[in-house]
Structure 1
Amino acid sequence: MHSRNPFNSAVVVNPLMRDFDALFRELGQPGFFRQAPRERAPAADILESEAGITLHLDIPGVDAKDIQVTVERDVLTVKAERKAQPLAEGVNVRRQERAQGAFTRSFSLPETVDATQVEARYEQGVLTLTLPRREESKPRVIEVKVQS
């Protein structure tokens, strides 16, 4: 006689429970909680110094000609596209975790950044954006004069 305990995954009582059982098994799989490929945005590191801000975005597999960086008002926007690699005849995808397609990521710029001097460099899959400070926002050292 089969057990009818709904928590026993060895016996599935009805199709709905079978679906839940499959879902919970899948929850334990590595990578399940990753975002869907269309929702992925590149990871970014934002560093700040007296000279300005540096952004590093990980976008491996993107051709440099498919990267567009724009600054409009106080928003820096990066658009890029990772194109799908063509499959050889007879090859089927069994699992695909690397995102493909276009993405857009925007960053609000602080008033201290000189948006006219932004520089972009792409090397080994990392886009580095250099955002220098406005001269008037850089820290100044004030000389203290001694009266005698």
Structure 2
Amino acid sequence: MSIKSLLPFGRTTDVTQGAASDPFTAMRRDMDRLFEDFSRGISLPAGFSGTGMLSPKVNVSETKKGLEITAELPGIDEKDIDVDLDDGILTLKAEHKAEKEEKDEKKHYHLVERSYGTYMRRFALPFEPDEDKIEAKFENGVLKIAIPRSAEAAKQAKKIAVKPA
């Protein structure tokens, strides 16, 4: 029986040749395959990006006046939200901190649960904003940001006619 007949569909024989010549590469490949098989079917919590940052659900809409951004930030306090604009990039950052403690002297248990996370999103603005008129309002876990265009950006673009050569 040939070794090729034992390989999963889509694999080539050079995989086995590399494994035979370098046992560390083979071990690494086997470990990667083990973790891939283990993690298959496991879904990340809603909003978790896999980078340690939480990614809030955001709606961005363009209006005649500028942009409107709405972000869902459940469980966040207003004091833990930072919105800043730097070099045409709007950054939305929020810290989520929760702690829950339960005690029962009769049943002899003490439980403390903590969860922490950072929400962060960045947006490259497609126009020059009027920085003095940007407004952010937070109510019931929803942050609404209104970003108006500057007076210069609000001017209409001039249409240039294309003539035949």
TM-score, normalised by the number of residues in structure 1: 0.63
> For 1:28, which of 27, 41, 51 is the aligned residue?
41
**Identity in percent:** 29
Which structure has more relative contact order (CA 8 Å, sep 6+)? It is 1
Q: Does 1:134 align with 2:111?
A: no
2:74 to 37, 57, 60: 60
Contact 1:78/1:104 (<8 A) preserved: yes
2:87 corresponds to 1:73: yes
Structure with greater proportional helix content: 2
In structure 2, what is the Cα distance between the partners aligned to 1:77 and 1:138? Answer: 23
Query: How far did 1:36 drift?
Result: 3.7
Task: Confirm or deny: 8 A CA contact 1:69 1:77 kept in the other structure.
Answer: yes
Provide the C-alpha distance between the structure 1 equivalents of 2:40 and 2:126, rounded to a whole number of angstroms: 40
Q: Which runs of 4+ in 1 moved over 4 A?
A: 29-34
Structure 2 residue runs without a partner (length 5+)? 1-29, 104-109, 157-165
Structure 1: give runs of 5+ residues left out of the alignment.
1-15, 141-148
* Aligned amino acid, residue 111 of structure 2: V
Q: Distance in 2 between matches of 1:104 and 1:52?
A: 22
Q: Is the 8 A contact 1:77 1:107 kept in 2?
A: yes
Secondary structure of the structure 1 residue equivalent to 2:79 = helix
Q: How far has the Cα of 1:137 moved from its partner?
A: 2.7
Structure with larger Rg:
2
- The one-letter amino acid of 1:88's match is E
Distance apart, 1:136 and its partner CA: 2.9
Is the 2:88–2:128 Cα contact (8 Å) retained in structure 1? no
Aligned length: 121
Q: Deviations over 1:55-104 (max 9, x none)?
A: 111111000011111122312122211102233233376xx9xx732333
Q: Root-mean-square deviation (CA), in Å?
A: 3.4
Q: Distance in 2 between matches of 1:108 and 1:23?
A: 34
81 and 32 in structure 1: CA distance in 2 versus 1, 3 angstrom threshold:
closer
Higher relative strand content:
2
Q: Confirm or deny: 8 A CA contact 2:75 2:141 kept in the other structure.
A: yes
Tell me which residue corresponds to 1:87: 101
